[in-house]
């Protein structure tokens, strides 16, 4: 059996094996929003975001990118895109950080990052249903993801693809390589092709995305959850595990 050690290899395997199966289901229980992305649809979003980061904004393998978003399905897309391009995701949201090539932010943190758009790529997500644009124009120099991502292609192949020992994420004072994302993608309680319900953030807890992606399962990401509705969602979505347990 071939050992999968990079994000592009893991995603390619999922696309071969079960492209139409759900991969990420997102619930905002305060607004009632529900978004479900199949493996293929999620991969298309990842490809578009990869092209935006590399082909449009000029990021290169080894560059560092901050993802300053609340838990959201677009957070999983930009995680995948960063790993697809060999970028290093940092969970630090310190706007004074000097070694970033890009930041992906949301409406609540856009004002904090907009002034740095002259020195790094600032991508802003409105976090509205269907990934649409901000209702009002974003500050000059800021990329509105809801505008610029749609023109990107549905397929992406890095000219300088990530390698197994490339750093992939920095979180909690620890750095994980591409290979470690998959060798350590465990601990969520997911078994095989089950469905993992999580109320954690995939950016700071990458295993809740990596384990389902690798194992053939799926992630149900729930935000602003009330206990009673969370239990009802667990049953309705046929979840088999939860994180935190």
Classify 177 as helix, strand or coil. Answer: strand
Count Cβ atoms below 10 Å from residue 129 Cβ, excluding itself.
12
Nearest to 81 by CA among 137, 153, 182, 139: 153
Q: What pLDDT shows up at residue 192?
A: 87
Domain boundaries, the chain: 7-243
Least confident segment among 49-53, 88-92, 94-98, 221-225:
94-98
- What is the chain's mean pLDDT, rounded? 95
d(CA 244, CA 240): 13
Q: What pLDDT shows up at residue 140?
A: 97
Q: Judge whether 170 and 65 are in contact, CB under 8 Å.
A: no
51-62 pLDDT tens trace? 999 999 999 999
Q: Judge whether 210 and 185 are in contact, CB under 8 Å.
A: yes
Q: Which fold has domain 7-243?
A: Rossmann fold (3.40.50)
Assess whether pLDDT exceeds 90 at residue 173: no
Q: What pLDDT shows up at residue 1?
A: 39
Burial of 145 (0-12, 13-18, 19+ CB in 10 A): buried
216-228 pLDDT tens trace? 999 999 999 999 9
Q: What pLDDT shows up at residue 71?
A: 97
Radius of gyration of the chain (CA): 17
Contacts of residue 15, defined as CB under 8 A and 6 or more positions apart, other chains included, come to 39, 40, 43
1-18 pLDDT tens trace? 357 999 999 999 999 999
In the chain, the percentage of residues whose pLDDT exceeds 70 is: 99
Assess whether pLDDT exceeds 90 at residue 160: yes
Q: What pLDDT shows up at residue 91?
A: 85
């Amino acid at each position: 059996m071939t050992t999968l050690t990079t994000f592009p290899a893991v995603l390619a395997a999922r696309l071969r094996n079960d492209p139409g199966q759900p991969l990420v289901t997102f619930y905002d229980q305060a607004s009632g929003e529900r978004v479900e992305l199949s493996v293929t649809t999620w991969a298309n979003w990842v490809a578009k975001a990869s092209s935006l980061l590399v082909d449009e904004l000029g990021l290169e393998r080894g560059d560092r990118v901050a993802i300053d978003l609340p838990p959201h399905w677009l957070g999983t897309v930009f995680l995948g895109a960063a790993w697809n391009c060999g970028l290093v995701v940092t969970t630090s949201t310190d706007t004074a950080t000097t070694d970033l090539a890009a930041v992906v932010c949301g409406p609540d943190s856009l004002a904090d990052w907009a002034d740095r758009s002259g020195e790094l790529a600032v991508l802003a997500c409105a976090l509205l249903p269907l990934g649409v644009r901000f209702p009002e124009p974003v500050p000059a120099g800021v990329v509105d993801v809801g505008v610029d991502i749609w023109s990107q292609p549905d397929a992406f192949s890095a000219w300088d693809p990530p390698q197994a020992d490339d750093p992939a994420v920095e979180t909690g004072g620890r750095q994980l390589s591409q290979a470690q994302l998959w060798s350590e993608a465990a601990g969520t309680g997911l078994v095989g092709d089950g469905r993992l319900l999580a109320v954690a953030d995939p950016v700071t807890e990458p295993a809740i995305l990596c384990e389902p992606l690798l194992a053939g399962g799926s992630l149900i990401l729930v935000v602003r959850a009330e206990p009673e509705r969370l239990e009802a969602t667990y049953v309705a979505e046929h979840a088999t595990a939860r994180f935190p347990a």
